[in-house]
Amino acid sequence: MNSKTRSCSGCLQKISNGNYLSCSLCNEAYDLDCANINTHQFAVMSKDKKGKWVCPGCNSKKNKSDNTNTPVVSTMGQKRNRRDLSSSPEDAGSQVDHITQRKKLHTPMLNVSSPSHIDESLLLVIRSEIQSSIDRSLKTVIETALNREFESLKFEINSLKDLKCSLEFLSDEYDKIKSDLQASEERVKSLTNSNQAMQARVEELSHRLNLVEQHSRETNIEINGIPENKTENLTNIAKQLCTTISVSPLIMETASCTRVRKMNSSVNRPRAIVVKLSSIRSRDEILAAVSKFNKNNQSEKLNTEHLGFSGAKTPVYVSEHLSPYLKALHARTRHVAREKSYEFVWIRNGHIFVRKNDKSPATQIKTYEALYKL
């Protein structure tokens, strides 16, 4: 079998799949349809049988076999021989008289001088029949394939229509969500601006409240470290403090003393004593006397023993009475100052100050943000 592309001698179409038979006599190639062989028969044919295959054109050129030996002819010959032996010539003549002889028809003789002409005519007829059969088959196959494709296209078109409806619905929903989002963004911006304004207002009010609270405490002093006792007399303790720091005890005659609750209840320390004095001058006099006493007694700073308490000595601290905000800010300032090696932290008239050393300027701490700039 030749591997290159050939043309069928029956339908004159190119054989592209390689399934064809070559005539062993004329070496012409025929596809399976023109050879009248299906694919299964072609697959099971042996190589030897394929090599001996003869095309229809070459089959028609073969000499036909003699038919004298057919059963009918042999029987008639035997009967004729028996009749000839048993009958006389006269009988034969009488029998001939009873035989009706037909006249031979004078039919025009075909031009049989050219067998190739007959073969070519037969081949053309076969080709035309094969071509028409192929055309009908191709038409049916094409119509079936087109119908199948059209059905698939219809299904795809319907699917596209559904997809279009879905996309239109999603587009509408997207537009709606987009408009809602824009409205929400505008609302968020408005709320953000309002919140910022409110925060600024709250900070302003908090600052003013701290000022008011601190102003209400401007004549107070706070004493920490005094042990608690059920029978204690806070006024006498305050007078003893004045006596210790060389201040007239009469300053405490108009003062009111009370203990205040702890800001942190988990701390195991006595509650602070708040002394409300008659004037800011009296407050500053006591605070200056305490500072002077501690400077003069570096080894024995003010403690419970100086105030007449027995037992273990504990330090006693006297400071301005701060508002809760300033008290917490003061504690945080002292912590940050230790971390950043600031030597001085003090309070003056409700204001917190820090100083790096003797040569550096003082810095006022008003907010927690100021601590990050130290």
How large is the average pLDDT for residues 9-18?
82
Residue 68: which residues within 8 A CB-CB, separation 6 or more? 74
Q: What is the CATH number of domain 6-57?
A: 3.30.40.10
Q: pLDDT-based confidence at 27, cuts 50/70/90?
A: confident
Residue (of 207, 197, 195) closest to 367 by Cα position: 207
Please report where in the chains the tokens 């032996």 appear, as a residue. 85
Q: How far apart are CA 160 and CA 149, in angstroms?
A: 16
Digit-coded pLDDT (tens) for 63-98: 655 555 555 444 444 444 444 444 444 444 444 444
- From CA 57, how far away is CA 65, in angstroms rounded? 18
Compute the average pLDDT of residues 283-299: 92
Is the four-CA dihedral 354, 355, 356, 361 of positive or negative sign?
Answer: positive
> What is the rounded CA–CA span in Å between residue 69 and residue 73?
7
- Tell me if 58 sits within 8 A of 70, measured CB to CB: no
Indicate the pLDDT class of residue 268, thresholds 50, 70 and 90.
Answer: confident
**Which segment, 5-9, 77-81, 119-123, 175-179, is predicted with the most confidence on average?**
175-179
pLDDT at 66: 53
| 66: its two tokens | 């003699």
Query: Residue 280: which pLDDT band, with cuts at 50, 70 and 90?
Result: very high
Q: Name the CATH topology of 218-321.
A: Alpha-Beta Plaits (3.30.70)
Residues 6+ away with beta carbon under 8 Å from 340 = 374
Q: Give the burial string for 251-261 (b: 16+ CB within 10 Å, else e).
A: bbeebebeeee
pLDDT in the model for residue 153: 87
Looking at residue 315, the DSSP 8-state letter turns out to be B
- Contacts of 56-61 with C-beta under 8 Å, sequence gap 24+, read 56/122, 56/126, 57/23, 57/26, 57/28, 57/119, 57/122, 57/123, 57/126, 58/23, 58/25, 58/26, 60/118, 60/119, 60/122, 61/115, 61/119
For β-strands 6-7 and 351-355, DSSP reports them as unpaired
What angle, rounded to 10 degrees, do the helices at 280-296 and 234-244 form? 60
Q: What is the pLDDT of residue 86?
A: 43
CB 237 within 8 A of CB 307: yes
- Looking at residue 200, its pLDDT comes to 92
Other Cβ atoms within 10 Å of 61 Cβ, number: 14
Is residue 211 pLDDT above 90, yes or no?
Answer: no
What pLDDT sits at residue 68?
52
Of 2-16, 46-60, 121-135, 330-344, where does mean pLDDT reach its minimum?
2-16
pLDDT at residue 65 in the model? 54
Domain ranges of the chain: 6-57, 218-321, 322-374
pLDDT reading at 292 higher than 70: yes
pLDDT for 221-252, tens place per residue? 999 999 998 889 999 999 999 999 999 999 89
pLDDT of residue 91: 44
pLDDT at 346 over 70: yes
**Which is more confident, 142 or 68?**
142
192 band by pLDDT with thresholds 50, 70 and 90: very high
Beta strands 317-320; 344-348: pairing state: unpaired
**Residue 77 pLDDT:** 47
Give me the pLDDT at residue 53, please: 87
Nearest to 367 by CA among 312, 326, 337, 307: 326
Report CA dihedral (202, 207, 213, 218) to the nearest 10 degrees: 180
Distance CA 92, CA 86 (A): 10
- How many Å apart are CA 238 and CA 290, to the nearest integer? 12
Please return the burial class of 374, using the count of CB atoms within 10 Å of its CB with bins 0-12, 13-18 and 19+. Answer: middle
Angle at 106 between CA 105 and CA 108, to 5 degrees: 130
Which pLDDT score, from 0 to 100, does residue 109 have? 41
pLDDT value of position 63: 62
